[in-house]
Amino acid sequence: MPTLCRPVVAVPEYVITLDDTLDLARRLHGRHEQLPLVLRLIRNTHVAKRHLVQPIEDTLRHPGFEARNAVYVREAKARVPEVVERALAHANLTPDRVDAIVFVSCTGFTMPSLIPWMINELGFRSDTRQLPIAQMGCAAGGAAINRAHDFCLAYPGAHVLIVACEFCSLCYQPTDLDVGNLLSNGLFGDAVAAAVVRGDASVGVRLSANGSRLIRDTEDWISYAVKSTGFHFRLDRRVPGTMEQLAPELLSVAADFGWNASALDFYIVHAGGPRILDDLSHFLGVAPTMFRYSRATLTEYGNIASAVVLDGLRRLFDAGDTPHDACGLIAGFGPGITAEITLGTWGSHAAQPERKPTHFHNKEALT
């Protein structure tokens, strides 16, 4: 059974605390008529600290979209290799054993994606399948797991590497005074994460089923306005309340496969903010402590976009107290409004000896 192995998450060395963020908001936007509201919203995120790829002085300067994107590429190439190497080690794989790479990011842009660079520089085969996902925002972490699962079902025995690279601080817009944008300045952090979905059973989350759900007519609730200065984050005030609509969808996807989403052993969900977790606890009828891993990510790293679910999973692995065959749910939420939902069971038994890698060198393997 396809198994999601232990993720690796790396955060940059520059740190900004909640107090730092509040002080900056007061200094930079002291005359903003809604500053008291902004300060209250930032405090209510309960984000104690975040990590940035640049010192705060450099983050606050905007040298232009081209220069910002160059920083994105430079930092990604500097930070991705170590994370990938460690994720492969956790899965007991070498690069030549990987059959597909899913790369997710919404905070910078390259064409081609960074997957060809990874193939050339990190030892992957030239026939490695490429699946870059750039426009699903925070939901992309869940989508990456689901697409890796789908690939392993289509090609039994295959192995898929997932990489999430999010430098949200590079989307800071100093002249954008929209309340949603100012809130995002105190919510989002930077991180790089990676994990492997092995095509055979291993220690980790054994993927059973997945589904995707969209709340109709909400595509402008979370979005980017793409301008000459880059990506301007847009967040509708109705977004924090979307769990009332998404919780039934989680129940529906689980029910499609005979599961009860209100009676599972673990939950790893995208922590876009504390209300998301509070509302899920209420509408699913589960104890707030069931979202402790997601809440810890939010507190310690902020909203790290597509990397949130991988960090929550890392914390599940690190806890080391999940019993064999425990049932759980993974969910990423993002623009659309979209939910990417995964069902899986915890496997604590080591994998059997590997089969030969699937290289897809003949026509039969491609059908």
Could you give the CA distance from residue 313 to residue 255 in angstroms, rounded to a whole number? 23
Among residues 172, 198, 224, the one where a domain terminates is 198
- pLDDT score at 80: 98
Among residues 198, 229, 246, the one where a domain terminates is 198
Is the domain of 161 the same as that of 273? no
Is the domain of 83 the same as that of 116? yes
* Four-CA torsion 285, 290, 294, 298, nearest 10 degrees: 80
Say whether 327 is catalytic: no
Element of type H or E holding 180: helix 179-184
Is the domain of 13 the same as that of 70? yes
> Is the C-alpha dihedral spanning 110, 133, 147, 291 positive or negative?
positive
Cis peptide before 337 (omega within 30 of 0): yes
**Tally of domains in the chain:** 2
Is the domain of 258 the same as that of 324? yes
**DSSP secondary structure letters along 84-120:** HHHHHHHTT--GGG--EEEEE-SS---SS-HHHHHHH
Q: Is residue 250 part of a domain?
A: yes
Is the domain of 136 the same as that of 79? yes
Is the domain of 303 the same as that of 318? yes
- The count of other CB atoms within 10 Å of the CB of residue 290 is 21
Is the domain of 191 the same as that of 257? no
DSSP category for residue 168: G
Q: Where residue 329 sits, what CATH number does that domain have?
A: 3.40.47.10
Q: Is residue 358 part of a domain?
A: no
Q: Is residue 224 part of a domain?
A: no
Residue 295 is which amino acid? R
Is the domain of 127 the same as that of 208? no
Is the domain of 171 the same as that of 44? yes
Identify the three-state secondary structure at position 165: strand
Considering 5, 106, 138, 171, which one is annotated as catalytic? 138
Is the domain of 245 the same as that of 276? yes
Domain limits for position 12: 3-198
Q: Is residue 218 part of a domain?
A: no
Is the domain of 23 the same as that of 150? yes
- Block means of pLDDT (10 residues each) for the chain, 367 residues, are 97 96 90 91 93 95 94 98 98 97 96 97 98 95 98 97 97 86 88 97 93 94 89 84 92 96 96 89 96 96 96 97 96 94 89 40 32
Q: Is residue 53 part of a domain?
A: yes
- pLDDT score at 360: 38
- pLDDT score at 273: 86
Is the domain of 165 the same as that of 208? no
- pLDDT score at 235: 81
Cα 268–chain centre separation: 11
Q: Is residue 227 part of a domain?
A: no
